């Protein structure tokens, strides 16, 4: 085929190759090395954030999405106390998936849980018609819609108003480490930080821009921890509302402890009365697919959002 031999496609025009190459060589800018270094420094420069810093604590428990799992939440409060947590933090997504959202609220208050606002709370408080989870596939959105509709109908106006007053982030000191607690990512409330699509260089820059020694997040449903080359930590606390798509019925949360040097991070498996949860979900007429997940430990819905590595580890 001789279609383009010796010629470049400049838009719809065919021009001699060297004419295109000369034009592109002259286009754009070529900064000096010093200017380039300054551009990179500016790009990664810390962003302003007036959030007050809480603590310092020697040991804290941090948990992700509750998804109306009041059994899981009760078990967590007991377990965290037994393990000597001085403070307990919730990263939001109190509703969705499970039954009877109003059972979660008193547990949070009695447990003195310091909560931040997830996309669920933001949506419910503002009267949004969907959860704004950030799913892109209609198959995921179908089940997300069922979850959200149920929770929205069951939550009292008072609970929704309380959700609306929650801060979107918290800064917490554990020992000498300042941690940033957010729901999805520091950039967006519904951004997914999965392990396989949150590479080390990206995380290092994120922590530079958001001035913290550690980042705590949830939203994905899957827990993971990365200690970065800089010594800083990124922890997705997972969720306590549904299992971690690994065939086990327990759920997960994070325990962080100050050490002489740095901070210890432990992802803690949490056993709770999953059969009681399943019975209550059936009583409330929630989808059988959701109940199957609670009983089997495998996700049956909202799978399309999973990146390749996480999907390869799924049963469905």
Partner 1 sequence: MSAIQTEKTQPLAAPRVELRTLDTLWFQVAGTVCNLACTHCFVSCSPTNHTHEMMNLAEVRRHLADAAALGVREYYFTGGEPFLNPDMEAILEETLTVGPATVLTNGLLLDPARCARLKALADGSEYSLDLRVSLDGWDAATNDPIRGTGTFGRILEGVRHLAQARLNPVLTVTEVWRESGSDAGKEKFFALLRSLGVDRPRLKILPVFQIGAEAERAGAYESWQRLRAGDAPEDGWDHLQCSSCRMVTDQGVWVCPILVNEPSAKMGATLADSLGPFSLDHPACWTCHAYGVSCKT
In the complex, which residues of this chain contact partner 1 (CB under 8 A)?
Answer: 1-5, 8-12, 17, 20-21, 23-31, 35-37, 39-40, 43-44, 187, 195-206, 208, 303-304, 307-312
Name the minimum Å distance from CB 233 to partner 1.
16
> Within 10 Å of residue 40's Cβ, how many Cβ atoms?
11
3 state SS of 9 = strand
CA nearest neighbour of 314 among 168, 196, 182: 196
Gyration radius from the chain CA atoms: 23
Q: What is the smallest separation between the CB atom of 187 and partner 1, expressed in angstroms?
A: 7
State how far the alpha carbon of 80 is from the alpha carbons of 112, 180, 226, 256, in Å. 12, 20, 22, 11
Minimum distance, C-beta of residue 143 to partner 1, in the bound complex (Å) = 16
Q: Strand 214-217 relative to strand 13-16: parallel, antiparallel, unpaired?
A: unpaired
Contact 118, 89 (CB under 8 A): no
254's tokens: 């994070």
And the tokens for 69? 């799992």
The CB-of-313 to partner 1 minimum distance in angstroms stands at 11
CB of 179 to partner 1, least distance (A): 19
Task: Compare residues 12 and 260 and give the one whose CB is closer to partner 1.
Answer: 12
Shortest distance in whole angstroms from residue 140 CB to partner 1: 12
Residue placing its CB nearer to partner 1 in the complex, 169 or 311: 311
Task: Categorise residue 216: left if φ over 0, alpha if ψ from -120 to 50, beta otherwise.
Answer: beta
Measured from the CB atom, is 34 or 50 closer to partner 1? 34
Q: Closer to partner 1 by CB, 98 or 186: give it.
A: 186
Q: Between 138-154 and 119-126, two packed helices, what is the crossing angle to 10 degrees?
A: 60
Closest approach, Cβ 267 to partner 1, in A, equals 16
Question: What is the smallest separation between the CB atom of 217 and partner 1, expressed in angstroms?
Answer: 15
In the complex with partner 1, the residue whose CB is nearer, 35 or 266, is 35
For residue 103, give the nearest of 67, 76, 78, 61 by alpha carbon: 67
User: Nearest 5°: CA angle at 218, between 70 and 175?
Assistant: 100
The pair of structure tokens assigned to 275 is 């059969």
Our CB check for partner 1 shows the closer of 78 and 137 to be: 137
The smaller minimum CB distance to partner 1, of residues 57 and 299, is found at 299
Q: Which residues pair with 59 in a beta bridge?
A: 257
Q: Among residues 8 and 279, whose Cβ is nearest to partner 1? A: 8
Structure tokens that stand for 32 in this block: 């000096």
């Amino acid at each position: 085929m001789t279609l383009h031999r010796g010629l470049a496609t400049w838009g719809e025009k065919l021009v001699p190759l060297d004419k295109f190459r000369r034009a592109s060589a002259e286009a754009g800018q070529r900064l000096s090395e010093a200017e380039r270094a300054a551009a990179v420094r500016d790009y990664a420069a810390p962003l302003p954030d007036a959030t007050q810093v809480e603590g310092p604590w020697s040991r804290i428990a941090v948990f992700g999405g509750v998804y109306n799992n009041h059994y899981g939440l009760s078990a967590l409060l007991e377990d965290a106390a037994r393990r000597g947590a001085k403070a307990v933090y919730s990263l939001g997504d109190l509703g969705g998936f499970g039954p009877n959202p109003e059972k979660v609220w008193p547990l949070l208050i009695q447990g003195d849980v310091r909560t931040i606002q997830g996309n669920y709370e933001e949506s419910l408080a503002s009267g949004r018609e969907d959860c704004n989870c950030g799913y892109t596939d209609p198959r995921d959105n179908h089940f997300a819609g069922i979850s959200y509709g149920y929770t929205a109908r069951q939550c009292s106006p008072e609970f929704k108003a309380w959700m609306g007053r929650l801060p979107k982030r918290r800064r917490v000191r554990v020992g000498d480490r300042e941690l940033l607690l957010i729901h999805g990512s520091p950039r967006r409330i519904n951004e997914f930080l999965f392990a396989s699509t949150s590479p080390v260089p990206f995380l290092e820059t994120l922590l530079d821009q958001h001035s913290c020694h550690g980042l705590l997040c949830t939203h994905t449903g899957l827990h993971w921890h990365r200690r970065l080359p800089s010594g800083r930590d990124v922890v997705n606390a997972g969720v306590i509302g549904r299992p971690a798509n690994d065939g086990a019925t327990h759920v997960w949360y994070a325990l962080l402890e100050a050490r002489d040097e740095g901070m210890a991070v432990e992802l803690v498996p949490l056993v709770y009365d999953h059969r009681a949860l399943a019975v209550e979900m059936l009583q409330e007429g929630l989808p059988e697919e959701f109940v199957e997940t609670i009983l089997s430990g495998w996700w049956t819905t909202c799978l399309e959002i999973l990146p390749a590595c996480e999907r390869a580890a799924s049963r469905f």
